[in-house]
Amino acid sequence: MKKLLFSLTIVFASAAASFAQTADEIISKAIDARGGSAKLNALKSMRMESTTSVMGMDLASKSVIVHKRGMRNDIQVMGQSIVVAIDGDKGWTINPMQGSDPVALPDEQVKATASQLDLSGMANIKESGAVAELMGKETLDGNETFKVKLTSKDGTIMTHYIDTKTYLTAKTSIKVTVSGQSVEVDTKMSNYKVVDGISFPHTTEISNPQAGAIVTTITKLELNPTIDESIFAMPKK
């Protein structure tokens, strides 16, 4: 009996190792599909112009991101500019329709956007200490995808749905806490275009229970521009 249990333990351990290796292989191919780790790790900043369709409105916006440092979105709504910014581990917003003073963002909202600050994408998954698990396959909009769950060191869970043919990410799902409740936010990615040797999804669609589908299309994308990081700082009231 002891020999049987020992043999079974070896078999299950080997299967688990193979499963983990398969997840690593998929991630490696996904990194290559984007342009490779060298190009992704060379990304230090981005500047974008885009149009967002939400609740029957088309909103123009300008965004800047500095790798693992900060992010700022300026969105034009009915002739006014709404600002949403991340400054390190803090965030703030100004919505002229609700007042002219800046308001701090909830910590859970800042945490939910943290992955957007990492311009290297999945290039440094192992170095970050995240755990990758292959959860099988799932059909998404008629296309087969690998379902890879990534759990970061701080416990944040993000699932990537990676196309089995192109190895580009077709959707991500992240669990965030909003008003004390756990909510899963899905973001579909499509319309990939190569900019300076790196593939970027130029169309994203976020499902929102209150506002419906929020579709953003990038119209202009600039890599590694010089950014004045003072724009991330929350203005004094």
Residue 143, helix vs strand vs coil: strand
Is 70 exceeded by the pLDDT of residue 17? no
- Please provide the DSSP assignment of 179-214 as one string: TTEEEEEEEEEEEEEEETTEEEEEEEEEEETTTEEE
Q: Do 44 and 66 contact (CB within 8 A), yes or no?
A: yes
Structural domain boundaries in the chain:
2-232
pTM above 0.85, yes or no: no
The residue that leads in pLDDT, 208 or 167, is 167
Cα(85)–Cα(133) distance, integer angstroms: 32
Beta bridge partners of 113: none
pLDDT at 97: 84
- Please provide the DSSP assignment of 81-134 as one string: EEEEEEETTEEEEE-TBTBSS-EEPPHHHHHHTGGGG-TTTTTTHHHHT-EEEE
pLDDT at 156: 84
Domain at 2-232: CATH code: 2.50.20.10
Cα(86)–Cα(38) distance, integer angstroms: 26
